[in-house]
Amino acid sequence: MHPKVAIVGRPNVGKSSLLNMLAGRRISIVDAEAGITRDRVSATVELAGSSRGHDARAVEFVDTGGHGIEDVADLTAQVERQIAAAVHEAQLILFVIDAQSGVAALDEQVARLLRTGGSGCPVLLVANKVDGPSHEPGAYEGSRLGWGDPLCVSATSGYHKHQLVAAIRDGIDWNAIDEDGTAPDADPGAGVLLAVVGKRNAGKSTLVNALAGSERVIVSEVEGTTRDAVDVRIELPDPDGAHRDQDGGDGGDASPVSAVTLIDTAGARKRKSIREDVEYYSWHRALRSIRRADVVLLLIDATVPVSQVDAALAREVQRHYKPCLVVVNKWDLAEDAHTQEQYVDYLDRAVRNFNFAPVAFISAARGEGTRELLAMAINLHRQAGHRVSTGRLNRTIERILVERTPVSKVGKRPKVYYVTQLQTHPPTIGLFVNRPHLFDDNYQRFLLNRLRDELPYSEVPIKLLIRGRNRIPEGAE
């Protein structure tokens, strides 16, 4: 939807640091070890308006792996395909070199590939690691690569960042882009964010590629192939039919969903097994993906027992009140040993207090059962965005209290003065009572289960806030 700017170059020239600088936040993992980036890692950035009176425009920057890296997991060919795909789709290429180490043989090889690759888009030579004017003379060695004088920048200090942004704006053919409709002025947004999480080798990248319909991320049997959190945007074919109100008029989020963004994450493992900085950063990006997601797809490998890692991820999802679809992958390899009903019972025992989350059985490698996942995830997003009227909430709570009322050891009973929905995403129900301490954990679990039975939140977490009488919202009766 926006012009793409591919960031290419040999390993360790600072491509990931450059993406992070342009995005203004940590997107790609940066490490001294060569070959950390393998997939195409992208970020959409709004470039400020130019001095020529041009309006601000959105651009998608795409970080790529280092060209020529000998990957320790024998993924070199896959990394090179990802680089080629980024170059093929780009409207501008940032060819990054290291100003401090000078032009290397791999830089010359990248230059030849860009000249003969047939992409036809302009190339901007960027000399990185120029921390000040004293480093600029050495950067001009890059002029012999055939792309003119390099633009000197420092991705770590931000030196000449404004000049780089201006050069990027000038390097994109906006007239051609506007004519073919590639980049509308209005940002279509990421749509519904779906974080795909799970332990290593559960099949997350395979699932993302199956949903995207292309090799968007690298798939390998080698554990730890995915390191960054990779966003993959998918356009939905029928946005007008993406939402239907299920509650007969109480109200909700009726906005049609025209796109989803899948967030492929690194495979989780036990915290004590994390031994390298890269694994640490990958784990925390996976946790951050859960926090930023609208819906989480928790991938379970059906061929191995549910692990402590699976349960820990489920607890993290619950802690942030995220709607979750439990996706049991590789079911084609396990269905002879269990029925789906038996496996769901097993999941309920292995992952506590999570039985409200819907379960889907798929084979991502075969593409079996994957078509329904997006519709199921969007339905969970709609549930979490639903708003129930105050009158219905109060009537519902009254019925539940008649059914079962919390009682103290001395026989005191609570009185509920007022019930209201405070917010959506997650649906947050506030109860204002005379004795909050009587609503202990056991009763709150009972209350939540009954609310799911009575309200249109049967498959999503509900946040329950119980407050004393002095916390009744202003204007409440």
Task: Using the predicted structure, report yes or no on whether residue 449 has a pLDDT greater than 90.
Answer: yes
pTM of the model: 0.73
Task: Using the predicted structure, report yes or no on whether residue 345 has a pLDDT greater than 80.
Answer: yes
Q: Do both 168 and 248 map to the same domain?
A: no
Q: Looking at the domain assignment, is residue 44 inside a domain?
A: yes
Whether 433 contacts 416, CB under 8 Å: yes
Over residues 364-402, the pLDDT tens digits come to: 989 899 889 999 999 999 999 999 999 999 999 999 999
Q: Across the beta sheet with 4-8, what order do the strands follow?
A: 41-47, 57-63, 4-8, 92-98, 123-128, 151-152
Domain C-terminal end among 331, 366, 384: 384
For the chain, what percent of residues have pLDDT higher than 90? 38
Q: Looking at the domain assignment, is residue 140 inside a domain?
A: yes
Q: What is the pLDDT of residue 247?
A: 42
- Whole-number Å distance between alpha carbons of 379 and 381: 5
Q: Tokens standing for 117?
A: 């690759």
Average pLDDT over the chain reads 81
- Whole-number Å distance between alpha carbons of 290 and 287: 5
Task: Using the predicted structure, report yes or no on whether residue 331 has a pLDDT greater than 90.
Answer: yes
- Structural domain range at position 254: 192-384
Q: What is the pLDDT of residue 305?
A: 93
The CATH number of whichever domain residue 289 belongs to comes to: 3.40.50.300
Q: Do both 204 and 289 map to the same domain?
A: yes
Residue type, 369: G
Q: Do both 108 and 154 map to the same domain?
A: yes
51 Cβ neighbours under 8 A, 6+ residues apart:
none
Q: What is the pLDDT of residue 175?
A: 76
Q: What is the pLDDT of residue 232?
A: 79
Task: Using the predicted structure, report yes or no on whether residue 249 has a pLDDT greater than 60.
Answer: no
Task: Using the predicted structure, report yes or no on whether residue 452 has a pLDDT greater than 50.
Answer: yes
Q: Do both 162 and 211 map to the same domain?
A: no
Over residues 418-440, the pLDDT tens digits come to: 899 999 999 999 999 988 888 99
